[in-house]
Amino acid sequence: MYVSMKEMLDRANQEKYAVMAINCFNLESAHATIAAAEELNAPIIIDLLMEHMQKHLPREELLPSIKTMAQKAKVDVAVNLDHGKDKQYVIDSLNEGMLSVMMDASECSFSENIQITKEVVAIAHDKGATVEAEVGNMGAVAGSHFTQTDMYTKPDQAIAFIKQTDVDCLALSFGSSHGVMPEGFIPHFDFDIVKKVKAATGRPLVLHGGSGSGWDNIKNSIEAGINKINVGSDVMKTQSTAIHNEQVKDMTKDFVDVMTVSMNAAKKVIESYIELSGSVGKAATQKIAQ
């Protein structure tokens, strides 16, 4: 069933688990993601990165097909615009039928982030859609630009942001970075940031850059109050490795078969994250007590 993120995240918030959000950029990755969720009867979020849709398959071609997959799914599936950095693109995505969007104005000043997010929240809520935002800044593994402590979310700002914007969920920076972590490297997380924001607001909170963060870090993040976990790089790396291995074994192998192998590999990784998140068996949408 095609739904917004709100009810699934509200339930996760109430029952203290997380919903996985998997970055997909084509139909194959979306298909593998939904198949993993159906296998474990778990709710799932398909994150469509604005940058991917601008550089790879455009939104107007990708979104309708993935929405159809979601509508036919046996579990609740949300399709979320990830890191929408352009306000008009975010609004256009809502008008194109996205029920979940991230308005990422975290690179703007704090006051501008509030104002831009408030405007998007008003439009989205009028359409029955859900909005995610971000306070703090995320680094990237590429170029060794890892998240530094001075980029971490300031809890007081996050609390004020939620109260002033009424955003549905908020991404926090507290130790993770975007990208594939170096082998053997486990980042340090400051869980007190999550705990302080959760205690003051009770709002669903989001971990970006879940790939390579370490199982213990993710478990402790959920215990601290994280309800949505974004993972992309680990899944894509698994697919790339599967394709490489198949071609090393047999360069004449049919491309369709190679892609099928990569999708099966992605499904297994996604299933492992779903199991870690605590969302197994939580697929059925239930009314959340107010």
Is residue 82 part of the annotated active site? The answer reads yes
64's CB contacts (< 8 A; 6+ apart) are 97
Q: Which of 82, 92, 192, 216 is catalytic?
A: 82
Q: Do the annotations mark residue 31 as ligand-binding? A: no
Label the pairing between strands 169-172 and 100-103. Answer: unpaired
Full DSSP string of 125-167: HHTT-EEEEEES--EETGGGBPPPGGGSPPHHHHHHHHHHH--
Taking Cα atoms as reference points, which of 222, 126, 213 lies closest to residue 177? 213
Q: Do the annotations mark residue 208 as ligand-binding? A: yes
Q: Do the annotations mark residue 134 as ligand-binding? A: yes
Label the pairing between strands 130-135 and 77-84. Answer: unpaired
Helix (H, G, I), strand (E, B) or coil at 178: strand
Q: Do the annotations mark residue 178 as ligand-binding? A: yes
Q: How far apart are CA 114 and CA 54, in angstroms?
A: 25
Torsion angles phi and psi, residue 228, rounded to 5: -140, 130
Tokens for 112?
Answer: 């501008």
Residues carrying an active site annotation = 82
Residues making up the binding site for Zn(2+) = 83, 104, 134, 178, 208
Residues making up the binding site = 83, 104, 134, 178, 208
